[in-house]
A and B are shown apart, each in its own frame.
Chain A
Amino acid sequence: MTNKEKYKRAFSSLHMPESYVLDLNGNSTERENALHGRWAEQRKRFRIAAAAACVVLALCVGGASAYAADLGGIQRTIQVWIHGDQTSAVVTINDQDGVTNYSLTDNDGRLIMSGGGVAMEADGSERPLTESEVQDYLNLPETETEGDRVYLFYKDQKIDITEMFGEDGLCFITVSDGDETQYVTAARNGGMASSPKRYIEKSELPAEWFQ
């Protein structure tokens, strides 16, 4: 055995007692707010994915200390990438009165995102998204502004695209996870569209992205 192996084996025996419970709940409101600060921004994302069915989904980031206690509907556990971190989440699809709502919670029931959207088939008909489509949507590239920098997140990748915008306020960038390539069109105002086949052109993007 090497010294490192001996050292690791010996020190692996030292650990926090199982009986010790971390008390992180004092001043809970303040701490929860700090914990979920990045989720409390109430920002919205809008993306277009050119897939088999056209998916239009708008999810609003959950507020501080928000819990989804009883959502009903179909629940599935999915693996999603959020801000470069892969995490396990429960997606709930609740179709009521012709309106489909989607909620994404962590394993403790804390609300991560919620919103609405539809899948539009080639014949123009609309239907609720499946959990698989929600997962695919969440694993698409996304942009995020941190301070004065704009970052593109794709799975475990984080790319600073601040200097990549043209005079029209658009940035065209290709990202790949090794298996799949995504052609990303990002707008300086935070809008973003991606496709596995081609860049989404300016003429196809919402007009408000350029106002």
Chain B
Amino acid sequence: MRQPVEELIEKYKDTVFRAALSVSRNPEDAEDVVQDTFIQYMNSPRQFESEDHIKAWLIHVAINKSRNVINSFWNRKRVKFDDYLENTNFREPEDRRLVEAVFSLPEKQRIVIHLYYYEEYSVREIAETLHISEGTVKSRLARGRNELRSILKEEWDDDE
């Protein structure tokens, strides 16, 4: 199946943006990745099994594109990200602390954390999306959680 790209943009642009941002930590790069990801969808003849399949593909492509970006332009990211957070309206002060804590994690941990906690993907789905083993997902999740707990203290519970 295919869906009109306009519908996908409307529904998933923020999903793709957050996934891209989780990797690149640069909002401008993430915006470019969003655009490139949807263009790749338009130019791909690929058929999908379901809308969830399309969403997973978009996330996978966005993550790969973001990795290509950070491998090319690492140094200018941090400044841009700090500016971006400064101009973001968080609902509660602890929300910003959580975002900053997540973005302080190594890239491999934070994308796994993001897919698990935001997209509510299972370990198996994350493994399929990132093309890594379930064991690797579990270990990155565990390390990420431990790190978040140590940064956020009582603001990050022990639940999973």
Contact = CB atoms under 8 A, between A and B. Distances in A.
Interface of A: 2-4, 6-11, 13-17, 20, 22-24, 30-31, 34-35, 37-38, 83-85, 87, 106, 108, 146, 158
Given A3-B159, A8-B118, A146-B47, A35 B98 contact: no
A149 to B, nearest CB: 11
Interface residues of B, number: 46
B121 to A, nearest CB: 12
Contact of A17 (B31, B51, B96): B31
Contact of B17 (A4, A16, A108, A158): A16
A175 B159 CA distance: 43
Contacts of B3: 85
Contacts of B2: 37-38, 83
A20 B31 contact: yes
B9 A35 contact: no
B33 to A, nearest CB: 11
Please name the 9 residue pairs, one residue from A and one from B, whose CB atoms are nearest each other, closest first. A10-B95, A7-B117, A10-B98, A15-B14, A16-B17, A13-B90, A34-B43, A35-B42, A31-B42
Nearest to A13: B90
B120 interface: yes
A85 B21 CA distance: 29
A2 B99 CA distance: 15
A34 B45 contact: yes
Interface of B: 1-7, 9, 13-14, 17-18, 21, 27, 31, 34-35, 38-39, 42-45, 47, 51, 88-92, 94-96, 98-99, 102, 113-114, 117-118, 120, 155-157, 159-160
A interface secondary structure, majority: mixed
B1 A22 contact: no
Contact of A10 (B44, B96, B159): B96
A83 B3 CA distance: 9
A156 to B, nearest CB: 9
A9 B91 contact: yes
A85 B1 contact: yes
B57 to A, nearest CB: 15
A83 B54 CA distance: 14
Nearest to A6: B98
B39 A11 contact: no
A11 B114 contact: yes
Contacts of B21: 14
B43 to A, nearest CB: 5
A22 B34 contact: yes
Contacts of B92: 9
A11 B118 contact: yes
Contacts of A22: 9, 13, 34-35, 38
A106 B6 CA distance: 11
Contacts of A23: 35
A17 B87 CA distance: 11
Contacts of A13: 88-91, 95, 99
A16 B21 CA distance: 10
A24 B91 contact: no
A84 B17 contact: no
Nearest to B21: A14
B34 A16 contact: yes
Nearest to A4: B117
